[in-house]
Amino acid sequence: MNKIIFSLVTAALLMPALSAHATYQGEQRQDARNVRQETRTQGREEKRDCVASNNKSNAQCRHDKRQNRQTGRQNARDVKW
């Protein structure tokens, strides 16, 4: 009987901690997602500006956009982990 009560008390004490950890992870995922979305927007704007100014070839503009997005993905990983 005591083992059952001890198990229930232990489970009751651990539930809020597990719930808080899941919420924290969810917030980290959301922050990382926001960073990636902002990076996409910045990459699009950067490419549009690059093409409009005609100071680089299309391939160079694509490379700049790709580099920007890779940096954004790494920043998102840093936020998440």
Q: Residue 19: what pLDDT?
A: 58
Task: Give residue-wise pLDDT tens across range 8-40.
Answer: 666 666 566 555 666 888 888 888 888 889 888
Q: What angle do CA 25, 26, 29 make, to 5 degrees?
A: 85
Total number of domains in the chain: 1
Task: Give residue-wise pLDDT tens across range 32-75.
Answer: 888 889 888 888 888 888 888 877 888 888 888 888 888 888 88
Q: Domain for residue 71, yes or no?
A: yes
| Structure-block tokens of residue 28 | 């980290």
For residue 68, give its domain range: 38-81
Q: Residue 8: what pLDDT?
A: 64
Q: Domain for residue 42, yes or no?
A: yes
Q: Residue 18: what pLDDT?
A: 54
Q: Residue 32: what pLDDT?
A: 87
